[in-house]
A and B are shown apart, each in its own frame.
Chain A
Amino acid sequence: MNRPARALSQGFWTCLGCRLLVKVPRNVSSCLCPRCGAHVHGRVDGSIMLTWALTITGALLLIPANILPVMTVIYLGSGEPSTIVGGTLELYHNGLWGIALIVFVASVAVPVMKLVGLVILCLIVQLRLEVSPRQAMRIYRVVNAIGRWSLLDLFMISILVALVDMGAIAEVAAGAGSTAFATVVVVTMFAVQAFDPRLIWDVYEEKMAADVKNNNAQGEERV
């Protein structure tokens, strides 16, 4: 059976800056892209390690981000600081369930899904799990696409802080949780960037090669 050729095994690297295919001589570990000048590697350097590090940082930061208040709305002198989940619940109780759903998806579901997705992707590569690479790619693409939307809540806070600023009557103040939450979003965005999806296919390729070898060995025994 003829499997499609892949760049690394043929001695080619792809520049991730401009996607030029670069032919590299053996025993060279890194070079500069002749077209755009970026560093070119066969695979992203230390991809799995960096993704793990950033994912774990993100997961740890998610704790203060959810415990500490992100915003306080003071209206006529009274107001309780609210956390991310608390703010969503408040919206829901006020009957704004559509907005509550948007905020819930953007600031609760997306960060958690992103971290879970990243852990799954890292585990697939690290433990060489037998999964369909197309499914894994789907996870990667979803994680990549949803990442930026979790900044929604922070943008809303920055708008409200300037908008509702009337001294004693009404005021919106940011809370310490928002800093932690912002860091979670940025760190997880970097984590997705650090992850090299080609590693998923490397694992798959390895599995396929091993299978072919096994089949051949069995065939020879039978003969």
Chain B
Amino acid sequence: MEQDSGQDTEQHRQREPQSGRPHLWKRACHQCDLLLTRAHAPVGQRLICPCCGATLHRNMERSVAHTAALSLSGLLLFIPSATLPLLEFSLFSFGAENTLLNGVRALFASGYVWLASIVLFCSVLAPLGKFLLLAFISWGSGWASMAKPVARALRWYHHLQEWGMLDVYMLGILVALVKMSDLGKMTVEPGLYCFVAMMVISSAATVSFDAETVWARLARRTAGKKNGDPEAAQ
């Protein structure tokens, strides 16, 4: 793992002569600014800031491969969860279905544009974007020529991550299910099972993803390309 993380220290070492002190620092806690010298967790472990307790680095085993697999299955599951109905409500032989998108459409139609966009963004666009970005990052980090777009995708992922609210939406479905069940007949439709699976996979993808591993991978590829070393560039 030490080898993997060589890149960021390398950059500092080049600038270090100006300050005249040997380079020691590798990372600062993003929540309390504590400087740490040995700042990479061994594979399969987490690194926690000794000062404030923030998680600094979570190094999952086979992080990139798992993230690639999970994001692809998330994308596949997104198709049925977005197209199939999630719930059905029926009352005196009248019935209506709920899909991920027609709630948004109904809100748009009744003039709640801002509310509809928030719901659309948090329950459809952000999770979809997250899966797409993760798939792109884990696939693209294998090529040195993709370094720039992958870096940008990593930054976007960082911003987008907390706006994906599949779990909150799931709880919203449960509340709607219970709340309306004494008014009419509520039935669970196949789309809901796909939605639950997508939600679980989304959280699994968040946990398995490790940005530090991707940066190290990118750095190795770029270094390999510069040195003309085909072994490392592959």
Chain A contact residues, CB within 8 Å of chain B = 4-8, 10-12, 14, 16-21, 23, 25, 34-38, 73, 75, 91, 94, 96, 99, 102-103, 106, 133-134, 137, 140, 148-149, 151-166, 169-170, 173-174, 178-179, 182-183, 185-186, 189, 197-198, 200-202
Q: List 24 A-B contacts (CB under 8 A).
A: A4-B34, A5-B34, A6-B32, A18-B154, A21-B28, A23-B12, A36-B155, A38-B155, A99-B175, A102-B171, A137-B52, A137-B54, A151-B122, A152-B175, A155-B165, A155-B172, A156-B173, A157-B115, A158-B107, A158-B116, A165-B106, A182-B115, A197-B31, A201-B52
- Measured in the bound complex, the distance between the Cα atoms of B103 and A155 in whole Å is 9
In the assembled complex, how far is the CB of residue A104 from the closest CB belonging to chain B, in whole angstroms? 11
**Is B119 an interface residue, CB under 8 A from the partner?**
yes
Q: Do the beta carbons of A91 and B107 come within 8 Å of each other?
A: no
- Measured in the bound complex, the distance between the Cα atoms of B118 and A189 in whole Å is 13
Q: Which residue of B lies closest to A201 (CB)?
A: B32
Q: Do the beta carbons of A148 and B28 come within 8 Å of each other?
A: no
Q: Which B residues are in CB contact (< 8 Å) with A7? A: 25, 28, 33-35
**Is B193 an interface residue, CB under 8 A from the partner?**
no
Q: Which residue of A lies closest to B51 (CB)?
A: A4
A-B contact count (CB 8 A): 213
Q: Which A residues are in CB contact (< 8 Å) with B98? A: 159, 162-163
Q: Do the beta carbons of B178 and A156 come within 8 Å of each other?
A: no
- Measured in the bound complex, the distance between the Cα atoms of B180 and A73 in whole Å is 10
Chain B CB within 10 Å, residue with most, of A18, A19, A102, A170: A19
**Is B11 an interface residue, CB under 8 A from the partner?**
yes
- Residues of B194-215 at the interface with A, using a CB-CB cut-off of 8 Å, are 211-212, 215
Q: Do the beta carbons of B168 and A151 come within 8 Å of each other?
A: yes
